[in-house]
Amino acid sequence: MGLLQAIRTRGLLWVTVHSLLFSFDRYVELVLYPWAISFHGLVGGIGVMVVFSLVVCWALLLFYDWVSTIDVSNIQNEWLRKLVIAASDALGFEGLKEAGAEFGEKLNKLLPRTWEPVRKYIATPAFFLGTSLWFDGMTCTILMRPARQHYMSSGYWVLFTVSVILSCLGWGLLVGVIVHLLQANTPELWNVLERILSFLTGGIGH
């Protein structure tokens, strides 16, 4: 299935799934991170979020690979078969990677001596760092793997772990600085925000 055709047939599904993940990510970033750091301190809070992120991203990654490798030929129910096929690329990443691979091949033909070292030593590390800091370990790992590859080698598990740690460190340090500034300079505002965070987390830890 080409990328444009996939957009037409799965576009609504992609929007729905990404909207749900976006909402969950914002809850983690804007609620759980400041709450963990305010309760456990900067180092302890980041450590808690690293463990939390490793578990959540690991579970989502395994579910993503499991759904993507279900043998639909054994599913007799037509509606269920179509649902599994749609869910097999519910994030739209596989079609995106295929389009990216085709673009890379064209660049390699256009710049046969230049593109490969640029890809290997500049583009790939920059992509890894960018997706780790901007997104999360699950997203980074899926996008770093070749299209339609749904298994994890030892190398990809290392990449996944490093990506999660980088993601948590980057966002945790930023949140830590903001929390410290609020606590030091506007304690009244922080008290209000702390009550809101307590409500949104169900008072975890208190």
- Please give the share of the chain, as a percent, with pLDDT higher than 70: 89
Which residues are CB-neighbours of 43 under 8 A, at least 6 positions away? none
Whether 206 is covered by a domain: the verdict is no
Give the domain range for residue 145.
3-200
Whether 73 is covered by a domain: the verdict is yes
Which residues are CB-neighbours of 50 under 8 A, at least 6 positions away? 164, 165, 168
Whether 183 is covered by a domain: the verdict is yes
pLDDT digits (tens, 9 = 90+) for 114-147: 888 888 899 999 999 999 999 999 999 999 998 8
Residue of 52, 47, 51 whose CA lies nearest to 28: 52
pLDDT digits (tens, 9 = 90+) for 87-108: 667 777 877 788 888 888 888 7
Report the domain count for the chain.
Answer: 1
Q: Which residue has the higher pLDDT, 93 or 184?
A: 184
pLDDT band at 11 (very low <50, low <70, confident <90, very high): low
Q: Which residue has the higher pLDDT, 202 or 125?
A: 125
| Secondary structure (3-state) at 71 | coil
CB atoms inside a 10 Å sphere around CB 159: 19
Looking at residue 12, its pLDDT comes to 74
Whether 205 is covered by a domain: the verdict is no
Mean pLDDT computed over 191-200 = 93
